[in-house]
Amino acid sequence: MQNFTDLNLDSQAQFGSLVDQVAFDLASYLGQYPNKSFAIRILSKETGLNEKTLKRLLNRENKPTYQTLFKLYSIFLEEECFPKLLEKCPEVVKSYLAQYTPEEKKSSTQDEQDLLDLFKKEPLAAEIFVLAGTAPLIKSAIGFRYGQYGLEVIELLLSKNILIQSDKDVYKLSSKVPNLDGEALKFLGEYFVQRFAKVRDVMSENMISFFAEGLNQAGKEAWLEIDTKAFYKKVEIANDPKFKGHLPYFTFTVTDSIIREKS
């Protein structure tokens, strides 16, 4: 069997689109195996990426994050040294990876999995983690809201370098926290919807919506484009000083097919 690393990347197709390049390289890697489903399952275990994520990348349905790119090309090129990996990557991948800071490059698959495992074991850790992202955590406020258990969870997050102390009895998220992948985002979204989404008679007080319809590929892509624009607009508003406040809010959006994938 020919290894992907045996292929001369200079002779491989070079794409201007990151999505196209990743789909091509992923297909080339999976092409080593006689069974694509089996290959995806193996690659999922090697990278820690969800099989669904890999299929979407293969079908050009998603733009990969930095962490996803690093995981994939580390396997494709059998190279975990970041500078050497950049040298071997296709140009469009290299340009994207090179934009990120050294601190982000240190994040690992295991770090992300450990964080998700912690959230699943201690859901209150997920809650406090998100609250720390909205404003500094004050020890007395956490004790009042969650009691002794909340204070113990803070100590747990401190011990794992997820939180750091920024002042006396004040905590914030550590810069060493890894980027969250799709599985972790789904867990947080489901947890916060279940715990905090409220049914209102007056919908202007919050937003709950659901709609399903049969779409073609172009329709699905149009929906996703709207979701993406809306998300970044919300981030823009959240970062505007005139909208800053002390009340923590969350937003969670999912658009997906109503098809259960086979394992």
List domains and CATH numbers for the chain: 4-105 (1.10.260), 109-173 (no CATH), 182-243 (no CATH)
Per-residue pLDDT band at 11 (split at 50, 70, 90):
very low
Measured CA to CA, the distance from residue 235 to residue 29 in angstroms comes to 36
**pLDDT value at 126 more than 90:** yes
Strand 170-173: give its sheet, edge to edge: 137-138, 170-173, 163-167
Mean pLDDT for the stretch of residues 243-258: 90
Q: What is the pLDDT of residues 146-201, one digit of tens each?
A: 999 999 999 999 998 899 988 899 999 887 777 777 788 899 999 999 999 988 76
Start-to-end CA distance of the chain, whole Å, equals: 25
